[in-house]
Amino acid sequence: MTYVYVQNKNGIPLMPTTRCGAVRRWLRDKKATVVNLCPFTIRMTDIHTNHTQETTVGLDTGAVNVGCSAVLGKKVLYTSETKLRTDIHKKMQRRAMYRRSRRTRNTRYRQPRFDNRTRAKGWLPPSLQSKKDSTVKIVQKLSKILPITKVKVEIAKFDTQKLQNPSIQDVEYQKGKTEGYDNLRAYVFERDGYTCKICKKKDGIMQTHHIIQRKDGGSDRPDNLVCVHKTCHEQLHKGVIQHTFKKPKSYKIESQVTVLKDFIVSELRKSFDVEVTFGHITKRNRQRLNLPKSHCFDAVAICNPKKVERIDYHYQNICRSHGRYKLTQGIRSQQYLPTKRVFGYDVGDKVLCRKNAKVIGYIKGKMSTGYFMIGDIFNKTIIKCCSYKYLELIEYGKTIQSQFIHHQP
């Protein structure tokens, strides 16, 4: 059952409706105007009423995907799954590289600055700050189309040491793997038996090799280091020899979820009545409601309704950046990329392409000559090159793009 979300004349959200025929008549008779296309929202031009019902929002937090739903009794008024940004770290590294190269070209000298080295209370790394802001923004955007009474948030706290060693207890938390060794290299050599993991020989000068390189986000944890010969190490990095190591298990997602939980709850409590729940309760509710395992269905189970009607749709949201930082391309940066709108279109805009058949997609690339690359909401290319003559603007680009997904029966 698909809902049309309604606002009164002052923009205050009312209860949604399923009367699509009535909505068409209201729009035809100028009694309502369209506010948003996805999810489809209208604003009445002559209604001031504020009569609403108690609506509960369930929020399934995460480091990559976030589930959100709104439930009234057994009716699911809204359900969505949002994919958060995971490219912040690489973009920060790229910006640092640009700034570093710019400083080397700058001949002017200035005194060093140290006033901006302190971190404010509640500071988060940019990657986590983006995830927190996007998660809170999901609920704030939902409060503009539905009257929210309560927000139930599922939080989780992971013990990474317990995940690595389930039998750990007491003072063992204070003793790491390298206890009793002079340094980390000594532990890695002793663990691997002073044997090269590439050629399987013991003689020669030994070095430690990062399985996941530091430039790719690898750490200095013992699980990410292996013992290799000096010659094998050099040949491996030069590409003379090829070898595949078993990648260590990463607990990056678990750590991010543990850090984010308190910040998200405290930020939501500034505007909403928040209740906290946990994963095992959500699992029991989902099994009782006979719902499949999914982020959007988990959000429905978080609301804990006695029973729910059949859910045959959800909204897929993708978080995007405001714009691009890269202004040129080419070996010597000889080609300048267009930064402003080209023939009225920009990256992220939702458009209708009439080149061969009617295709709705998002602009993912543009050229100053008026040709664009069209992709879907998941950034997969649909049309590689399309002229502006065949495009029709549907919606300007947003930081959170939405698409209606219908579930197959």
| pLDDT tens digits for range 214-236 | 888 788 888 999 999 999 999 99
Residue 198: which domain range? 170-238
Instruction: Tell whether 257 and 151 lie within a shared domain.
Output: yes
**pLDDT, average across residues 378-400:** 90
What six digits make up the tokens of 137? 């923004």
pLDDT tens string 148-161: 999 999 998 888 88
Looking at the structure, tell me whether residues 225 and 364 fall in a common domain.
Answer: no
> Does some domain include residue 408?
no
Structure tokens at 107: 């001949």
Q: Which amino acid is at 388?
A: Y
Domain end residue (candidates: 198, 213, 238): 238
- CATH number of the domain where residue 74 is located: 3.30.420.10
Note whether residue 96 is domain-resident.
no
Residue 107 pLDDT grade (very low, low, confident, very high; cuts 50, 70, 90): low
> Exposed (0-12), middle (13-18) or buried (19+): which is 188, by Cβ within 10 Å?
buried
Same domain, 81 and 153: yes
Query: Are residues 257 and 154 both part of a single domain?
Result: yes
The H-assigned helical ranges of 74-125 are 88-105
Dihedrals φ, ψ of 230, to 5°?
A: -65, -45
In the chain, how many domains are there?
Answer: 4
We report the CATH number of the domain holding residue 387 as 2.30.30
Asked whether residue 143 falls in the same domain as residue 291, the answer is yes
| 150 and 180, same domain (yes or no) | no
Res. 133: pLDDT tops 80? yes
Q: Is residue 82 part of a domain?
A: yes
Residue 92 lies in a domain: no
Distance, C-alpha 185 to centroid of its chain: 36
- Name the domain boundary from 188, 207, 238: 238
Which residue, of 268, 289, 319, is where some domain finishes? 319
Q: Is the pLDDT of residue 326 over 90?
A: no
Q: What is the pTM of this model?
A: 0.86
74 φ, ψ (degrees, to nearest 5)? -100, 5
pLDDT digits 0-9 by tens, 275-294: 999 999 999 999 999 999 99
Closest to 16 in 3D by CA, of 36, 30, 29:
36
